[in-house]
Structure 1
Amino acid sequence: MSRTVLVTGATGTVSTALMNALEGADVDLRALVRAESKADGLRERNAAVVVGDLDDTRSLPPAFEGVQDVWLLTPNSPRAPENNMNALWAARQAGVERIVRLSVAGAAHDAPNRSGRLHALSDRETEWSGMRWTILRPLWFMQNLLNEADDISGTGTFSLNMASAPIGMVDVRDIAECAARVLLDDPDRHHGETYTLTGPRPLTFDEVARQLSLALGRSIAYLPVSDDAKRGALLGYGVPKWTVDMIEEYAQAYVSGWGDFTTDSVADLLCRPPRDIADFARDHAAAFTRC
């Protein structure tokens, strides 16, 4: 009998990739969206769309009713622990059997960034929820590079406040396929497990630039900038101050060596090596090319 999987954060990068990874699987997909206007494209994936908001517990029961498995992704915001709490409350009320939660690498009470500390609170609450649970903790997403696509396509350069930090960055498609693997396995198989997901090797952004150059057939350069310069650019784009502060904290942690590691979790879950930056660059070359 098919299990019903509720996907929260359904229009985001990771959840969209997860629904792609679950395409054709013997599950009934249900997608939680904040507004009906955000449902475009989700029904094409044969997902039942339910409108609800993790900020509002009263809106959640219809989304969670009859669900066995929840993919729990909360937005990065000061309200993230509240959103997680609301989802777990709705899940318990509905008799959900399993939570598969997206956290972050290094989540801990003493993490050097607010995102890691907030995720640690939600991880612990999930562990104490009384339901089966699995937590995925990915490192920096390769897909974050798509935020630099306009600069790369227009000027052949991109700027980050990461200095020469090595990071075991991971492809979002691997995160999604790991999540799909957990969701498709027996609920007991991964209960109580926390998987830290990385790519195959730590990378500096100079190496990222080299791989983009090879994939695009033209020279791409990484231009490191100061925290203040990056902060000014992000605020100029209208990014909220809380988010800008969080991004700066991550950058400072990475520069200190916080992301200089890899794990075998992707390979263990998928029985293949994780995607390399060369794979990402080749597969996304069009995004970095001006028409």
Structure 2
Amino acid sequence: MATSADPYPSAGDPAAGGTLVLGGTGKTGRRVAARLSARGLPVRIGSRSGTPPFDWTDPATWAAAVAGIEAMYVVYSPDLSFPAAAPAVRSVCETAVRAGVRRVVLLSQRGEDAVLPSEHAVQESGAAWTILRVSWFDQNFSEDYLDGAVRRGEVALPAGTVAEPFIDADDIADVAVAALTSDQHSGRIYDLTGPRLLTFADATAEISRAADREITYRPLTAEAYAAGLAAAGIPADYVTLVTELICHGLDGRNSYTTDDVQHVLGRPATDFTDYVRTAAATGIWST
């Protein structure tokens, strides 16, 4: 599909009536919102603290959040593979389409069958749709989740020597904005990856060099990972769900790259080394 130097056309923009960004305070959502706002497009943040508020667990908040909106970026919390996700995504999309939403972009997961019901809900909503499948974000090492582990000097995960095509959250946001503001991405499923595969040992070694301090990777068994979650006070049912999610996603099924970022944006995906250099310069990994 042809791309232009500017993948975000503003003339006749279908999102000109407003875009609701669900998960608008998260890693990709806040980047999507910032990019739309920078282009002068109206944005509504969909979160419990938004105006009006949006809460995935409270259907009474949905109608007001989608009112007057034409496009919607959907990030389900806590995770799209969880059992509650598909019914909620379907109901929110139905509510949104009844209110006049014409385009839905869903952040989904690579190699995960449990997310397919949510993808089908979006595809069957009656809106023009685009699905973005991703796996591990670069920013997992610097924004929540693993940032504390990196600062402590050790990342421990049940990943073995599996290689991942780490994807930059800025690339995801750029693709999402392109899909939210152009008809050319309707009906497409994009499999977004970084440009190369790295093991978690490779990734932590790159971070260690950039941060100029020792940061190591320690592979865990699934049982040890689950025990760590339980020791941290995580509820037992959530421990099971998270452990299964992590181990399932790190079994090698996503150990390949694609050129979908290049295809949509007309530029290569951001390399992990470039992400690490930028993140290290902020001092995020200093002790």
How many corresponding residue pairs?
266
The residue that corresponds to 1:137 in the other structure is: 133
Identity of aligned residues (%): 30
Change (3 A) 1:157 1:107: closer
Question: For 2:95 and 2:74, how far apart are their aligned partners in 1?
Answer: 12
The residue that corresponds to 2:22 in the other structure is: 8
The residue that corresponds to 2:220 in the other structure is: 225
* Structure 2 SS opposite 1:223: strand
1:256-267 to 2 correspondence within 5 Å?
Answer: 256-267=251-262
Q: Report if aligned partners of 1:74, 1:80 keep a CA contact under 8 Å in 2.
A: yes
The residue that corresponds to 1:45 in the other structure is: none
Question: For 1:208 and 1:191, how far apart are their aligned partners in 2?
Answer: 34
Question: For 1:237 and 1:10, how far apart are their aligned partners in 2?
Answer: 27
The residue that corresponds to 1:103 in the other structure is: 108
The residue that corresponds to 2:64 in the other structure is: 62
2:169 to 169, 172, 193: 172
Question: For 2:95 and 2:221, how far apart are their aligned partners in 1?
Answer: 43
Question: For 2:92 and 2:56, how far apart are their aligned partners in 1?
Answer: 6
The residue that corresponds to 2:159 in the other structure is: 162
2:234 to 236, 239, 242: 239
Change (3 A) 1:127 1:255: closer
Question: For 1:239 and 1:7, how far apart are their aligned partners in 2?
Answer: 28
Question: For 2:278 and 2:37, how far apart are their aligned partners in 1?
Answer: 20
Q: Report if aligned partners of 1:164, 1:255 keep a CA contact under 8 Å in 2.
A: no
Which TM-score applies when normalising by structure 2? 0.86
Select between 63-72 and 77-86 the one with higher mean Cα deviation: 77-86
Question: For 1:254 and 1:33, how far apart are their aligned partners in 2?
Answer: 27
Matched, 1:78 2:83: yes
Question: For 1:32 and 1:221, how far apart are their aligned partners in 2?
Answer: 37
The residue that corresponds to 2:119 in the other structure is: 123
- Tell me the amino acid that sits aligned with residue 277 of structure 2: R
Deviations 1:53-80 (A, max 9, x none): 2333332211111111011111114311
Task: Extract unaligned runs of 5+ from structure 1.
Answer: 40-48, 109-116
Task: Extract unaligned runs of 5+ from structure 2.
Answer: 1-11
Change (3 A) 1:82 1:209: same
Which structure is richer in relative contact order (CA contacts within 8 A, separation 6 or more)? Answer: 2
| Runs of 4+ residues over 6 Å off in structure 1 | none
Change (3 A) 1:238 1:177: farther
Q: Report if aligned partners of 1:213, 1:219 keep a CA contact under 8 Å in 2.
A: yes
* Structure 2 SS opposite 1:150: helix
* Structure 1 SS opposite 2:190: strand
- Tell me the amino acid that sits aligned with residue 191 of structure 2: T
Question: For 2:259 and 2:237, how far apart are their aligned partners in 1?
Answer: 33
* Structure 1 SS opposite 2:206: helix
The residue that corresponds to 2:46 in the other structure is: 32
1:23 to 26, 30, 37: 37
Matched, 1:288 2:285: yes
* Structure 2 SS opposite 1:99: strand
* Structure 1 SS opposite 2:162: coil
Q: Report if aligned partners of 1:166, 1:254 keep a CA contact under 8 Å in 2.
A: no
Deviations 1:79-128 (A, max 9, x none): 111220221121122021111111111243xxxxxxxx1x2001112111
Cα RMSD for the two superposed structures:
1.8
